Amino acid sequence: MTGGFPYLDAIIFLPLIGAVLLALVPSRDVRLLRLVALAITVATFVVSLGVLANFDSGEAGFQLGTSAEWIAEWGIGYKTGIDGISLWLVMLTTFLMPLGVLASWSITSRAKTYFIFLLALETGMIGVFSALDLFLFYLFWEVTLVPMYFIIGLWGYERRIYAAMKFFLYTLAGSLLMLVAILFMYFAAPGAPTFDYRDLLGTTLSLDAQRLLFLGFFASFAVKVPLFPVHTWLPDAHTEAPTAGSVMLAAVLLKMGAYGLIRFAIPFFPDAAREFVPLIMVLAIIGIVYGAAVATMQRDLKRLVAYSSVAHLGFVVLGFFVGTVQGMSGGILQMVNHGLSTGALFMLVGALYDRRHSRLIADFGGLGKVVPVLAGVFLLVALSSLGLPGLNGFVGEFLILFGTFLGHRWWVLPAAFGIVLAAVYLLWAYQRVFHGEVTSDENRGLPDLSGREALMLAPVVALIVFIGVYPKPFLERIEPAARVVVRQLNDSCVLPDPGDCQPSAARTAEAP
């Protein structure tokens, strides 16, 4: 970035500085703690609007970043920057964070530690999406683990310790394999060993090396996304985490994995990625159908939403690997959409839990009469999640399916079946919770959405509708970057002998 205010670096470190400030607030004063945390996250969001305003939508490369030496001898630098892929993920993070704080009003024990972890988590997440140095990226990637581990383990529900442990170990096992791959890349770099992302893009690697390294990165990202069959940590972690934890996990942390696939795995190893396309598409489709089918069977609302994430992220990964700009753009947009709708669903389930201290569908019934506003919002969000035209989910899923159709025609069928299942589990759950007569006396006197809850849901609902009606501002910023990755997947070649390259069979179709 040439001159100007370093908006991006500011939003990376603002939450961290806020966490230090928060440490000075007396821990007894929970009200003040909440307000300070809210003020910091809102301030971060406001500054992040500067990022959005200064983002040049015509530019496909990285922008708004800084570059500074850190440990020069080892080729490690503090290098940041965003493109159309990371822009919306950064914005999603800063946008949801204040809402996450609002959703944490019921946290009263050790509130100070909680909010410090939440703010540290925000720094880690924004850092992951902005880092352009692999050392820095790995650092932020791992740093998000610790706060989330504690958030689940300390403030979660009954089986929180088990869930936190599982979350940590699964992710760590994946990321350590990624570390091995990163170290290999470090020495394979053209010129002196370096962790610089842009320098590493020009690395020539044999196909065998690419395969192994791709799998190293893929191990880490597949766990995080999560792809079938390494998704099993997700239902536990999402279900047991406190509301804000679930929101952040679903909305942002999973996206770190998907983001890693298109930021690192495909551009670094396009030849290997091309080879793995069928395998990954199969895993994505299994995720879509399996996630949806299992979600249908859930008795616990939170678990249902958790499994729906497996299905949705399957769509995202499918879009990434079909090799068309539409699929890629749709996948990127769908990451944002999923963040919004699933985030909102977790907030709503959390609101229900706060009232009733249960998440079991069977404990509810007929709530539509008791809490009409909550029911209305729930319906709207559920419809967005299942892809009703006019709401955001439709735009993303349509683009993914359209892109899949262009590249791999028959794969659309099972994927579309997943959408049907989504309608089944969401509407059926909605029906059992909100329709009919009030079945339990305990549910009769439940209060409707409070002012705070309305405040936390209103922005999400507004965006859900906005993206559904007018996705252009989002897509036009995503597309240049998406086009770059699609070209890398289809045509690029980093083999030592370019004659060995096998360009993809899929057409690099032009956007309409």
Minimum distance of another protein from residue 112's CB (angstroms): 11
Fill in the DSSP letter of residue 73: G
Please say which residue, 176 or 279, places its beta carbon nearer to another protein: 176
Residue with Cβ nearer another protein (233 or 411): 233
For 169, other C-beta atoms within 10 Å of its C-beta total 12
Name which of 169 and 413 has its Cβ closer to another protein.
169
Any residues with CB less than 8 A from the CB of 40 and at least 6 apart, and which?
A: 14, 15, 18, 21, 22, 119
Return the number of the residue (212 or 293) whose C-beta is nearest another protein: 212
Q: How far is the CB of 151 from another protein (least distance, A)?
A: 11
C-beta of 79 vs 160, nearer to another protein: 160
Q: How far is the CB of 154 from another protein (least distance, A)?
A: 6
Residue 472 neighbours by CB distance under 10 Å: 9
Tokens of 367: 């709530």
Q: Which helix (H) or strand (E) holds 282?
A: helix 270-296
How far is residue 380's CA from residue 28's CA, in Å, rounded to a whole number? 38
Compute, in degrees rounded to 10, the torsion defined by CA atoms 277, 137, 288, 267.
Answer: -20
The whole-angstrom separation of Cα 159 and Cα 146 is 18
Nearer to another protein, 146 or 282 (CB): 146
3-class SS letters over 396-421: HHHHHHHHHHHHCHHHHHHHHHHHHH
Nearer Cβ to another protein (131/377): 131
Of the two residues 153 and 343, which places its CB atom closer to another protein in the complex? 153
Q: How far is the CB of 195 from another protein (least distance, A)?
A: 10
CA torsion sign for 121, 459, 84, 386 is positive
Beta bridge partners of 131: 80
Q: In 189-206, where does DSSP find H-type helix?
A: 197-200
Give the binding site for another protein (CB under 8 A): 70-74, 138-139, 142-143, 145-146, 149-150, 153-154, 160-161, 164-165, 168-169, 172-173, 176-177, 179-180, 183-184, 186-187, 212
Smallest gap from Cβ 354 to another protein, in A, equals: 22
Q: Which is nearer to another protein, 216 or 330 (CB)?
A: 216
Tokens of 4: 């100007």
Q: Minimum CB separation from another protein for residue 147, in Å? A: 11
CB of 181 to another protein, least distance (A): 9
Write the burial class of residue 465 (CB in 10 Å: 0-12 exposed, 13-18 middle, 19+ buried): middle
Angle at 389 between CA 129 and CA 434, to 5 degrees: 95
Residue 365 CB, shortest distance to another protein, in Å, is 34
Lookup: tokens for 389: 């035209």
Q: State the minimum distance, in angstroms, from the CB of residue 492 to another protein.
A: 24
78 bridge partner residues? 68
